[in-house]
Amino acid sequence: MSAEALVGIDLQGKLKRVASGKVRDVFEIDSETLLFVASDRISAYDVIMKNGIPGKGALLTAMSAFWFNYLTTALPHLRTHFLSLSLPPSLSTLPPDLTAQLQPRSMQVRRYQILPLESIVRGYITGSAWKEYTTHGTVHGIPMPAGLREGERLQKPIWTPSTKAEAGQKDENISPEKAAEMVGADHASQIASLSLELYTAAAAHALAAGIVLADTKFEFGLDESTSPPSIVLADEVLTPDSSRFWPADTYVDNIGRAQPSYDKQYLRDWLTAQGKKGVEGVEVPEEVVRKTGEKYREAFERITGGVWGA
């Protein structure tokens, strides 16, 4: 990964910024097209760290592009917002050094209304799902079998949505019934079904590459130009920011405790150990930055079959 983290995105006023999230800044190319630019910012427990992970935004962009291409082949009925990895002509006059920074972390996408749900699929019980289970015997209000161990594979993957919080707010786990109230029963049903299809296809590919896909988060848009309106896969897809990736070769030995991870769990663990979970303005030490970057790179290389930076 590059030596210096890019935590702020500046297009020198060439395009209107329409949103800025935990990682991505979104710019308007025209009424139908947006430019997603992934920074090197990293968040944990819904809080953005003060410093970033060098090269992370470019890696996330390349990984999402891989998955968009893979999934539309595996699921021919799938529609996505992904258009290309090219910069728009309107940015052709930017300085060459800025263009070089932006090119590998930018993605042109179709502009859709984004539905206000984080569509989470869990194939294994961990994280907030494990915490709820140990207290109530449920996951997102769904009754679960007794006697599950931390990290155990579920009998079948489950759809467990959460709210999509505004900037500065925290996502909230909700039941499928609550999700249906928020976006309508028909849209919720389509999102659940498609999310489970996506998870199943991705988990099979990841496992063949030696990685367990424990859980992941999708977002969807609504294409209102069709009748009825179509559900479209949007945002990032199956990256270490939005997924839990575990090494398959040590999975069985670690059932019942926290699994080693290829995602930002290393950062989460450090924050928890330091008593900084949910604290604003945390500067991550160089060792944690380096280790987190290594985890992201290994996940990319295993899943895509490519060599990062080659």
121 token code pair:
């699929």
Rounded mean pLDDT, 123-141: 96
CATH of the domain at 27: 3.30.200.20
Q: Are residues 220 and 231 in the same domain?
A: yes
CATH of the domain at 187: 3.30.470.20
Residue 164 pLDDT? 84
The closest of 267, 261, 272, 264 to 241, measured between CA atoms, is: 264
**With contact defined as beta carbons under 8 Å apart, do 204 and 236 qualify?**
no
In-domain check, residue 309: no
In-domain check, residue 57: yes
Q: Does the pLDDT at position 84 exceed 70?
A: yes
Q: Are residues 124 and 243 in the same domain?
A: yes
In-domain check, residue 180: yes
Domain's final residue, options 242, 263, 284: 263
Element (H, E) at 113: strand 113-114
* Half-sphere exposure for 178 (CA within 13 Å, toward CB): 16
Q: Are residues 141 and 86 in the same domain?
A: no
In-domain check, residue 291: no
Q: Does the pLDDT at position 96 exceed 70?
A: yes
Domain's final residue, options 245, 263, 281: 263
Q: Which residues pair with 122 in a beta bridge?
A: 158, 215
In-domain check, residue 278: no
Rounded to the nearest 10 degrees, what angle do helices 286-304 and 56-74 cross at? 20
| Cα(172)–Cα(27) distance, integer angstroms | 27
**With contact defined as beta carbons under 8 Å apart, do 54 and 40 qualify?**
yes
* Half-sphere exposure for 125 (CA within 13 Å, toward CB): 27
Q: Are residues 71 and 178 in the same domain?
A: no
- pLDDT tens digit sequence for 23-46: 999 999 999 999 999 999 999 988
- pLDDT tens digit sequence for 214-245: 999 999 999 999 999 999 999 999 999 999 99
Residue 310 pLDDT? 61
Domain's final residue, options 79, 111, 143: 111
Q: Are residues 176 and 251 in the same domain?
A: yes
**With contact defined as beta carbons under 8 Å apart, do 119 and 159 qualify?**
yes
Residue 169 pLDDT? 64
In-domain check, residue 105: yes
Q: Are residues 119 and 235 in the same domain?
A: yes
In-domain check, residue 66: yes
Q: Does the pLDDT at position 139 exceed 60?
A: yes
Q: Are residues 56 and 194 in the same domain?
A: no
Task: Indicate the number of domains in the chain.
Answer: 2
With cut-offs at 50, 70 and 90, classify the pLDDT of residue 159: very high
Q: Are residues 105 and 31 in the same domain?
A: yes
Q: Are residues 255 and 118 in the same domain?
A: yes
- Burial of residue 20 (CB within 10 Å: 0-12, 13-18, 19+) is middle
Q: Are residues 48 and 179 in the same domain?
A: no
Prediction pTM value: 0.93
In-domain check, residue 284: no
Torsion sign across C-alpha atoms 90, 94, 98, 104: positive
Average pLDDT, the chain: 94
Q: Are residues 57 and 167 in the same domain?
A: no
Helices (H) and strands (E) in the chain, counts: 7, 16
**DSSP secondary structure, 184-218, as one string:** -HHHHHHHHHHHHHHHHHHHHHHHHTTEEEEEEEE
With cut-offs at 50, 70 and 90, classify the pLDDT of residue 1: low
Q: Are residues 99 and 160 in the same domain?
A: no
Q: Which residue range(s) make up the domain with 235? A: 114-263
